[in-house]
Amino acid sequence: MATYFDHLWAEHRIAAADSVYDLIAIDRVLLHERTGSVALSALAEKGYNVRDPSRAFAIMDHIVSFREGRGRDEARSPGGDAFITQTRAMAKAAGIHLIDTDDPAQGIVHVAAPEQGIALPGLTLVCPDSHTCSLGALGALAWGIGSSEAEHALATGCLRVKKPEQIRVQIDGALEEGVTAKDLTLYLISEYGASGGRRAAVEFCGTAVAALSIEERLTLCNMAAEFGAFTAIIKPDAKTLAYVRGRPFAPSELSALSSLTRIAQTCTDDRSRVIAVNASEVRPRITWGTSPEDAVPLDGNVPAHAEAKRLDYMGLSGGQAIKGLAIQGVFIGSCTNGRLSDLQAAASVLKGRRLAPGVRGVCVPGSWAVRREAEALGLDEIFRHAGFEWGAPGCAMCFYAGGETFPPGSRVVSSTNRNFEGRQGPGVRTHLASPAVVAASAVAGVIAAPSDLPSLSEVA
Amino acid sequence: MPEPFVKHTGTAVALLRDHIDTDQIIPSREMKTVSRKGLADGLFAGWRYAEPGGRHPNPDFALNAQKAHGASVLVTGKNFGCGSSREHAVWALAEYGFRAIIAESFNSIFHGNCLRNGILPITLDDQHALEGPTWTGGETVTIDLPTQTVAISCLPEWVGRFAIDDYPKRLLLEGLDPIGLTLQSSDLLDAFEARDREARPWVYADYSAAKAD
């Protein structure tokens, strides 16, 4: 019997390219300004056209400034505007959809694509960005590629791909109060390693996955990139259909997607390789080191015999408690945790509280849509009152795109996906955690859980 | 198109760590232009230079050792090239002069990017063999792609073997243009699309245009 992944693979299989590789039809190609102009220029230089511009999208997100009131071409680093202006020019010349820096639909690709209905159940979708696996949360077969592969997909409408191994990650039981999809993914990566995904297509199954909202599923699938998977996927269900209904690029009539959802639910979950997780055993997690696999329970310690290079970079000693470490910065945003529910989780901790002295707080909503919804709910006031900068959508604070960031050596708790050396700026020490833990740490001035904060009545 | 890869003899340099990510291979701040060129100076910039953004060599970094001069074969641990999909990481390695990477395992996007840029990613069948030599840098490595073998100067009796699928092997051996190759099957692509438009019309309709009207 076929898995849902098998079903989508077969549906998109144009032909066998040889005994191992298949030609797989690609329904949507997404680009961003970091790689978009390179791919489109290279294609033009070689004399190839985009096969179907109506199914290709360029979304500005990577190096655009997060400054509120940013200019149309304003990038984070000197000379960065060329990435924006060239991608705009090349996208227009190629006739593909362009979601520009000042478009109300603009946002981080993996936040904006679901919001706009560009990512849909049953589609194959590729983007020269490793977190494209996020979109598997909608039941799409979506994966990250390099620029050269993006050129191939644009020119031919297909990719030559070897069908990956499949892993079922079965997550049953209920997450406890205060435990999030971010904690689940950090748990998985730390328990099975940063290459535990074995370049496989990982399907998340089980009652805990069914119980997650679409936004939480996007977070869970997002960090399949840090798990070393080819991609992640979750079968579409009634929640998925309800989510995509009425989105700008989604079909007005959902009968085809409804029948796909019925097919998905009859597909088998059986696979030879299974990872079983009991959701009720997962605790809030945070990373201590320079790989996402370096995650421990929030009330845990740095491993006693951790690699010296990782400890040195992070300014830590083996065996040290994580909680209570003094911090200088916090960041809330990114394709992992930059959606409305993430901002709500952080705001519920920040309401009526302020950043600890000496801590810089930045919140960058994942898209203009998220920002508008947050403002309608008054969340921006909570963030601003707490002393946070309230930014314009983009990726730039998650990876260091240049310009001013947190100072070298500063310890930052971040709702992002990568704690690599220098990821958020030269010498910056990033600890990955859920938005609520980021917010609690911001207020405490040290790494802390929301439950560690004195209640507001005590403070008053 | 990249230079074809048939047989290569070069100097090895070892970075014996696991999970070396593409932010280390080419930090984002080193990707200054929209071009694929000019990236070699930024290769491993965070480790290679003494100061962030500076260009004074860090004497403790393996690539800066005298015997690693002109290195073209990188030996490393598992999950090499994890993280960002940035093909700039491979462009930087290629421009620096690397032609092959021997790793315990690779990230899948990085692996694909290597094949597209004339760099041969090798995972040896017998991983334990490499634990024998103490990599001091400067070893001479000979890689023969047609026979899928590796020889190392400090292991005179040993021949390493590696697997590679036919398609990537052809890409490297012939320096093929993958787009041109696929477009030779245009009839297949067109026939599939015609059938698929019947089966899944919703995939091809531009709803945003309809809604805007």
Average pLDDT, whole number, for chain A?
96
A400-457 pLDDT per residue, tens? 877 889 999 999 999 999 999 999 999 999 999 999 999 999 999 999 999 999 998 7
Q: Check whether A20 has a pLDDT greater than 70.
A: yes
The answer to whether B90 contacts A309, with C-beta atoms less than 8 Å apart, is: no
A-B CB pairs within 8 A amount to 175
Q: Which regions of chain B are under pLDDT 50?
A: 213
Contacts of residue B200, defined as CB under 8 A and 6 or more positions apart, other chains included, come to: A11, A122, A256
A245-276 pLDDT per residue, tens? 999 999 999 999 999 999 999 999 999 899 99
Higher pLDDT, A369 or A36: A369
- Tell me which chain B residues have a C-beta less than 8 angstroms from the C-beta of A35: 86-87
CB-based contact (8 Å) between B31 and chain A? yes
Q: What percent of chain A has pLDDT over 90?
A: 95
Q: Check whether A458 has a pLDDT greater than 80.
A: no
pLDDT value of position B134 = 67
Among the partner residues A54, A128, A156, nearest to B206 by beta-carbon distance: A54
- Tell me which chain B residues have a C-beta less than 8 angstroms from the C-beta of A76: none
A319-361 pLDDT per residue, tens? 999 999 999 999 999 999 999 999 999 999 999 999 999 999 9
The answer to whether A291 contacts B166, with C-beta atoms less than 8 Å apart, is: no
The answer to whether A25 contacts B113, with C-beta atoms less than 8 Å apart, is: no
**Cα–Cα dist A351/A349, whole Å:** 6
A184-233 pLDDT per residue, tens? 999 999 999 999 999 999 999 999 999 999 999 999 999 999 999 999 99
The answer to whether B21 contacts A420, with C-beta atoms less than 8 Å apart, is: yes
Among the partner residues B27, B34, B203, nearest to A123 by beta-carbon distance: B203
Among the partner residues A248, A401, A420, nearest to B24 by beta-carbon distance: A420
Residues A187, A191, A193: CA angle, nearest 5 degrees: 110
> Chain B interface, mutation test: which of A23, A30, A33, A38, most B Cβ atoms within 10 Å?
A38
CB-based contact (8 Å) between B97 and chain A? no
The answer to whether A83 contacts B34, with C-beta atoms less than 8 Å apart, is: yes
Among the partner residues A86, A152, A400, nearest to B28 by beta-carbon distance: A400
pLDDT value of position A207 = 98
The answer to whether A82 contacts B34, with C-beta atoms less than 8 Å apart, is: yes
Chain B closest-CA separation from residue A335 CA (Å) = 13
The answer to whether A256 contacts B200, with C-beta atoms less than 8 Å apart, is: yes
pLDDT value of position A404 = 84
The answer to whether B202 contacts A257, with C-beta atoms less than 8 Å apart, is: yes
* B7: helix, strand or coil: strand
The answer to whether A145 contacts B109, with C-beta atoms less than 8 Å apart, is: yes
A103-145 pLDDT per residue, tens? 999 999 999 999 999 999 999 999 999 999 999 999 999 999 9
CB-based contact (8 Å) between B21 and chain A? yes
Among the partner residues A23, A38, A144, nearest to B36 by beta-carbon distance: A38
The answer to whether B182 contacts A256, with C-beta atoms less than 8 Å apart, is: no
Among the partner residues B83, B183, B185, nearest to A130 by beta-carbon distance: B83
Beta strand B120-122 pairing with B140-144: unpaired
pLDDT level of residue A174 (50, 70, 90 thresholds): very high
A300-323 pLDDT per residue, tens? 999 999 999 999 999 999 999 999
Report the chain B residue with the minimal C-alpha distance to residue A43.
B179
- Dihedral angle, C-alpha A323, A327, A330, A334, nearest 10 °: -70
Among the partner residues B79, B108, B210, nearest to A230 by beta-carbon distance: B108
pTM of the entire structure?
A: 0.97
pLDDT value of position B212 = 52
pLDDT level of residue A162 (50, 70, 90 thresholds): very high
pLDDT value of position A74 = 95
The answer to whether A252 contacts B211, with C-beta atoms less than 8 Å apart, is: yes
pLDDT value of position B213 = 44
CB-based contact (8 Å) between B1 and chain A? no
The answer to whether A402 contacts B29, with C-beta atoms less than 8 Å apart, is: yes
Contact A365, A343 (CB under 8 A): yes
**Count of CB atoms situated within 10 Å of the CB of B119:** 24
